């Protein structure tokens, strides 16, 4: 089990929403999912951070060195202040642009004082 290597196209054709995708675990997950063929919907509060992850995914090139990685999408949204209307709009955008959602990594968090 320790030497498992995921196939390069493991997530090909999958659409995955990643909250907290601007940095840390969310950004790394998005890069990894894209590397394995997923279309990543990058959700977070800070547009500039989401754009940086977007650029990294696009610039990384290809899935398994064979074909271009799917273009990610950016959804700037602060979950803490989001209203039902924001969620309805996001849902409609996902339906209109992707037609489906195969998975969600809910990674967004705010770390208070330690």
Neighbours of 62 (CB within 10 A): 12
| Structure token digits, residue 89 | 């709009």
Distance in angstroms (rounded) separating the CA atoms of residues 31 and 58: 10
pLDDT exceeds cutoff 80 at 26: yes
Q: Grade residue 94 by pLDDT with cuts at 50, 70 and 90.
A: very high
Q: What's the DSSP call for residue 79?
A: G
Domain definitions of the chain by residue range: 15-105
Distance in angstroms (rounded) separating the CA atoms of residues 14 and 100: 9
Q: Which of 3, 4, 50 is nearest to 31 (CA)?
A: 50
Topology adopted by domain 15-105: Rossmann fold (3.40.50)
Reduced to 3 states (helix: H, G, I; strand: E, B; else coil), residue 48 is: helix
pTM of the predicted structure, to 2 decimals: 0.88
Question: What pLDDT is recorded for position 51?
Answer: 98
């Amino acid at each position: 089990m320790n030497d498992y290597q995921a196939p390069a196209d493991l997530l090909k054709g999958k659409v995955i929403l990643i909250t907290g995708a601007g940095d840390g675990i969310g950004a790394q997950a998005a890069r990894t999912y894209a590397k394995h063929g997923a279309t990543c919907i990058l959700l977070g509060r800070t547009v500039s951070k989401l754009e940086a992850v977007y650029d990294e995914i696009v610039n990384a090139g290809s899935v398994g060195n064979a074909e271009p990685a799917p273009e990610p999408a950016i959804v700037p949204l602060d979950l803490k202040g989001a209203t039902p209307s924001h969620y309805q709009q996001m849902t409609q955008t996902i339906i209109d642009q992707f037609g489906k959602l195969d998975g969600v990594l809910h990674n967004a968090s705010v770390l208070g004082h330690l």
